[in-house]
Chains A and B, each alone.
Chain A
């Protein structure tokens, strides 16, 4: 009798151990297949399409999901948002390389699109042949960025960030500079050197305690974005150290920093936000989405004091793509959704609500874009200005490690000049850091 009880107890213990163990191992196992099936059937015969996004892309806020669900009663849309791309992107890479945990649609930031195109294209659907997708709708460079060498387009562009110069009319006037946007644009038309010259003029008469531009990072980013080639050449070779365009951008920014024309700040840090709130600078390179950022950080009395002028040369800053992993559960439905979400009409709606500028040139003539106004810039026809800038953006060669290189030039480079280092020392620190970071 006792023996039986003991064996029973032992069996129970063993069973518990075994189930714990297997549960544990199952937890580590590939869960790609059955995991997504749970979320893909939304009950009552509906198909749920999931989107993996980062930041605030605004599809939901602009009511686009609700609209699509109304048009397609059998579809339900769910999104899964990670706040910061630097947390979102490594996870996306992990999911792609292990073929598990993927959503039906995955967003890709422009800074990562070259790496995705180069290394993960085989895992993503070619979206160029989906019905309703018309290559001519997009700006050519945007389309090319997500297209592989053998002609597969693995991401459809959502928004872009055509850059103009946002400036404070009141501060420009105090410094004795013109404040009309056409005249301001003429001051530096076509040449970033002229832009820095204007900065010197500003410094002479501008209000005490303010700088011409917000930060060295903002300036070098604007210059580099307007070049055809920056860190990679067309064959994919890293050329940042020998490309004169990069060195010129670096030296010009270092010069501006040495002369005290830029604030000693790093963009998007709390202290930089505070310089916006305290009106500490007169101009910054800004894509449309930056106006929303400025608004969020400004005091109410700064409304209407900003204006937007054409940049010396146009460049792009930011923007995203939507991709469909081959491993997804609802590949066909997901493709249809992506085609619809990135169509010109939807991009125009998104711009109106979210300020993300359309990458579809077909949307540039829509009422949403031509009639666009912003609280910070008063009556300025920002839609037209940014649309004009978007058309001037060069087809730039982008590479997989653009972000690492630019971060090195900015955060381990030009910022040092604001702390009293020479341009040469800053360049050395930057290149040493970048080379170490690129070395596999």
Chain B
């Protein structure tokens, strides 16, 4: 039990346990009742008020997070079409079992994984390098930091539109540059790996600066004396980076890795807009269709809400598994340090 300081402390007006207070029998019975009532009220106040104060978040969460989550689960057990969402046909687990031999789902899952790797790994490495450079004393450092964040503030739609033009097969600037160097034009939208690289490029462009700023903030929290003593011991810049900076950044790196993994598993806007006008099929042979895109295609293009809900839940379960793996790895890392 916690001590109730508010009720135990001497109240200003009513006296309380302070010396010099009148004998107890002088207090009328009414007064005793009143005090008991007040103390009960305070107790309730202290016990329940915090819940009231945090409740707005949880009410919002129930309305916009939990309810849709559960309802999606319910819908995933039915055959439901967008043309008649209240007309639900119970099909049990069929929407889940069919996922096992739905080659489009597994194709999308593979694409999500490969695009996730192609986009996340270079992104975090580059962010680390940029943060390291920005950590030096530079002129106009604020300018560079703002510039780093500019892509993050750009809308996906606008960015994707420009990248589609850059990656154009016949009239794109990138193929033009390749041509100058003597490389044959690449079909950035039609071929599998080029299209995945192109989509990843949009993601990298957008998120590198954001991660760099997070790394930079963590780097600036590393005490300067560590570097000084390392320098005194004769460590080079590179050795300082390896043996001072990186170990101190470990929790931050873990954080960005987790956040990027979650982001990568939900990639949607970039591949959707990379080949607009083709619906959400992610290319002629679904070569860059991600899970998010497949979910959208089933739900909003093909109007199969039940199937889309099952895909959503399967993605959710996959994310939980990834989360557990992340947790285990990060515990290992922490234990080893």
The residues of A with any CB-CB pair to B shorter than 8 Å are: 1-3, 6-7, 10, 13-14, 17, 20-21, 24-25, 28, 86, 90, 93-94, 97-98, 115, 119-120, 266-271, 274-275, 404, 407, 411-412, 415-416, 419, 429, 433, 436-440
The answer to whether A436 and B168 touch across the interface, beta carbons within 8 angstroms, is no
What's the nearest-Cβ distance from chain B to residue A186, in Å?
34
Q: Would you give the shortest CB distance from A54 to chain B, in whole angstroms? A: 15
Top 4 A-B pairs, shortest CB-CB distance: A119-B83, A411-B278, A437-B302, A21-B59
Task: Map CB proximity to A onto B289-333 as digits: 1 under 8 Å, 0 otherwise.
Answer: 000000001001111101100000000000000000000000000
B residues within 8 A CB of A93? 82-83, 303
CB-CB under 8 A from B31, the residues of chain A are none
Contact across chains for A433 and B281 when beta carbons are under 8 A apart = yes
Is B234 an interface residue when CB atoms closer than 8 A count as contact?
no
Q: How many residues on chain B are close to A (CB under 8 Å)?
A: 49
* CB within 8 Å: A-B pair count: 106
Complex contact A419–B190 (CB within 8 A): yes
Chain B residues whose C-beta falls within 8 Å of the C-beta of A440 in the assembled complex: 79, 81, 304, 306-307
Type the 1/0 row for B84-125, where 1 means its CB is closer than 8 Å to any CB of A. Answer: 111000000000000000101000000000000000000000
- For window 9-24 of B, CB contacts with A under 8 Å fall at 11-13
A270 with B86, Cβ < 8 A, contacts A90-B300, A411-B281 known: no
A415 to chain B, nearest CB (A): 5
CB distance from B239 to the nearest CB of A (A): 49
A271 adjacent to B171 (CB under 8 Å): yes
Q: Which residues from B are CB-within-8-Å of A275?
A: 170
Given the complex of chains A and B, what is the CA–CA distance between A429 and B276 in angstroms?
20
Binds A, one of B48-56, B129-137, B139-147, B253-261: B48-56
Check if A24 sits within 8 Å of B285, measured CB to CB: no
Interface of A, secondary structure class, is: helix
Residue in A6, A10, A24, A90 whose CB lies within 8 Å of B59:
A24
A3-B41, A97-B84, A271-B169 known, 5 other contacts, Cβ within 8 Å = A13-B53, A21-B55, A90-B300, A270-B164, A407-B279
B277 at the interface (CB under 8 A from A): yes
Q: Is B217 located at the chain interface by the 8 A CB criterion? A: no
* CB <8 Å contact, B60 and A7: no
Taking the nearest CB of chain A, how far is it from the CB of B263, in angstroms? Answer: 24
Cα distance A267–B276 when bound, in Å? 11
Interface 0/1 of B160-178, CB less than 8 Å to A:
0000110011110000000
| Closest B residue, CB atoms, query A437 | B302
Contact residues in B for A97 (Cβ distance below 8 Å): 82-86
- Considering the complex, give the chain B residue whose CB is closest to the CB of A429: B285
B285 near A412 with CB under 8 A, answer yes
Chain A residues lying within 8 Å of B246, measured Cβ to Cβ, are none
